[in-house]
Structure 1
Amino acid sequence: MIKIFFYILLILFPITTNAISLQEIRDNPTRFKYIYADNRGDGYVDISSINVIRYAPPYYVINSSLYLVDYSKGAIAQINSTYFYDYSQNVTSTLEKSKNKAEFTNKILKYAGIKHKINSMPTYDFSGNVLSTTPYSGNLTTPALLSPAYTAAMFSFYNSYNEYFNPPDKHQKF
């Protein structure tokens, strides 16, 4: 009986140690950087989760965790992602290569030098109880400009290299 209890405890241990509550996010502004807001919620990057995987200019790869607080659903999604950067395709490089404003705008809206993949996405209630764990296949996608994933990628790059990958939005000074 004790052996079964021990195995159950071992299985549940990783779930409980990674749980996050809204209070923990709010009480630790030096760990959780507030980077995003819209009409449904807020976004925070866990600074301690930022990890440079590849530094081979113009290519970079960084892992980090984005916490999206959804007030309408009373939930927090922990989005553990890998960001892939191509500096030769960033906004500044694309502007230099574009023939006119329309071409530049069209290119940037399609691809601003960043792709990402979601590695996992556990979801918690505001008290830190696990609601779900969502497995992901790791499909590479291009985040929309100024979306939570794009903003998290921008902050992760800035935090790693103390420079902006793309020029920041006027509300995006890290």
Structure 2
Amino acid sequence: MQWTINGRVYHAEPDIRTSLLDLLREDLGLTGAKKGCDHGQCGACTILVDGRRINSCLTLAVMHQDDAITTIEGLGTADALHPLQTAFIRHDGYQCGYCTPGQICSAAGMLDEAARGWPSHASADLTAPDLGDREIAERMSGNICRCAAYPNIVAAIAAVASADLRRAEAA
């Protein structure tokens, strides 16, 4: 079996009951996504599948052989950080760092959702979501930070959202 992860093809023969998270971590050595609760409640395992954020602990690896999978390892490099990685550093959006890969992958997916005009439960205007603190917090509610770095996480995401908006207005 094969998977395309971070633009690279990987081969493995996992048991058909293997979660995508376990395939990534145990079979392929991609340990960025963390195993937090293993029940889809904490978001530590969040990755992007075809650009959409998912909890990798809740899906079987065999279901995603034809999908483009992106993990934290594929968002940026040490030499060229993703804007969210840079913002998390600048805004101290992490403490212990355990949830950070899932937070960043979720934020990347969330920013794409907002750019597409998808509303959330906190959206006051369903036709044009405003990524204020309340909206960001609602959209990120599936990602738990046990260190409670939420204000800094929201600030980091807001900084990237603001920069994205400025780029879009300039274009």
TM-score by length of 1: 0.24
Counting helix residues as a fraction of each chain, which structure ranks higher?
A: 2
Counting strand residues as a fraction of each chain, which structure ranks higher?
A: 1
Structure with larger Rg: 1
TM-score by length of 2: 0.25
